[in-house]
Chains A and B, each alone.
Chain A
Amino acid sequence: GAVVSQHPSWVICKSGTSVKIECRSLDFQATTMFWYRQFPKQSLMLMATSNEGSKATYEQGVEKDKFLINHASLTLSTLTVTSAHPEDSSFYICSAEKYGVLSEYEQYFGPGTRLTVT
């Protein structure tokens, strides 16, 4: 199997506070995990690539000081939204890489975290 979990599934926070989202690969080890953001009826937008034991690589336009990523182990990556504002409200999805049958890496997605900032 290739199961990825996220916690929490839904969080509401007040403007100015910080929120941490966890992404775990439950039955495999993932050297690389990815964080995406998805607005309603829009595609997935890659925010950053998280590598175990090293600094994350952020996509252009994504503020690394606002979206802190930590990949402390082969099964856990965390995304912390610091000083959240209403415009940060979105659906955040992580994925984890697993070596697949086509000798390529496949991405398996978590169930997503819906963040609402009031």
Chain B
Amino acid sequence: QKEVEQDPGPLSVPEGAIVSLNCTYSNSAFQYFMWYRQYSRKGPELLMYTYSSGNKEDGRFTAQVDKSSKYISLFIRDSQPSDSATYLCAMSSSGGSYIPTFGRGTSLIVHP
């Protein structure tokens, strides 16, 4: 079993839909959880960064962490075609300088 599991998709939704992206993990020591967005042939861009359990909202994006279930989610409200990209979850356990473990990414397609 991989440390971080993420469905590669693709996930195809109509414009305006609410999108739910998820990752599960097995390492209970993970405390820091990140979501990155990667457009085709570009480097990943940090979207959300949360610590421990709970929710964090930033504009149309909401990140949720449920450490008891080892499950994290990223919700995108009012999805736009420009949201079409690959979304990677990442997580780490160490404080200070860290090296995160990445999921393989979920490809999202928002069609007009």
Q: Which residues of A contact B (CB under 8 A)?
A: 4, 6, 32, 34, 41-44, 46, 49, 91, 93, 95, 97, 100, 102, 104-112, 114
In the bound complex, do residue A106 and residue B8 qualify as a contact, i.e. CB atoms below 8 Å apart? no
In the bound complex, do residue A43 and residue B103 qualify as a contact, i.e. CB atoms below 8 Å apart? yes
In the bound complex, do residue B102 and residue A43 qualify as a contact, i.e. CB atoms below 8 Å apart? yes
A114 surroundings in chain B (CB, below 8 A):
41
Chain B at the A interface: mostly helix, strand, loop or mixed? loop
> How long is the Cα–Cα vector from A92 to B44 in the complex, in angstroms?
12
Of the candidates B8, B42, B99, which one forms a contact with A41 in the assembled complex, judged by CB atoms under 8 Å apart?
B8
In the bound complex, do residue B99 and residue A46 qualify as a contact, i.e. CB atoms below 8 Å apart? yes
B residues 24-40 in Cβ contact with A at 8 Å: 32, 36
Task: List 5 tightest A-B contacts by C-beta distance, closest first.
Answer: A109-B43, A43-B104, A112-B43, A111-B43, A109-B44
In the bound complex, do residue B97 and residue A112 qualify as a contact, i.e. CB atoms below 8 Å apart? no
Of the candidates B6, B42, B46, B102, which one forms a contact with A106 in the assembled complex, judged by CB atoms under 8 Å apart?
B46
Q: A100-B49, A102-B49 are in contact. Are A44 and B99 (CB under 8 A)?
A: no
> How long is the Cα–Cα vector from A95 to B96 in the complex, in angstroms?
16
Interface size class of B (residues with CB under 8 A): 20 to 34
Task: Judge if B91 is at the interface, Cβ distance under 8 Å.
Answer: no
A34 surroundings in chain B (CB, below 8 A):
99
Q: Min CB distance, B93 to chain A, in Å?
A: 11
B99 surroundings in chain A (CB, below 8 A):
34, 46, 49
24 chain-A/chain-B pairs, Cβ below 8 angstroms: A32-B97, A41-B8, A41-B105, A41-B107, A43-B6, A43-B102, A43-B103, A43-B104, A43-B105, A44-B44, A91-B41, A93-B43, A97-B97, A102-B49, A104-B51, A104-B96, A105-B97, A105-B98, A107-B100, A109-B45, A111-B43, A112-B41, A112-B42, A114-B41
Task: Judge if B95 is at the interface, Cβ distance under 8 Å.
Answer: yes
A49 surroundings in chain B (CB, below 8 A):
99
> How long is the Cα–Cα vector from A95 to B45 in the complex, in angstroms?
10
B63 surroundings in chain A (CB, below 8 A):
none
In the bound complex, do residue B43 and residue A110 qualify as a contact, i.e. CB atoms below 8 Å apart? yes
In the bound complex, do residue A106 and residue B49 qualify as a contact, i.e. CB atoms below 8 Å apart? yes
Q: Min CB distance, A113 to chain B, in Å?
A: 9
Which of A32, A43, A111 has the most C-beta atoms of chain B within 10 angstroms of its own C-beta? A43
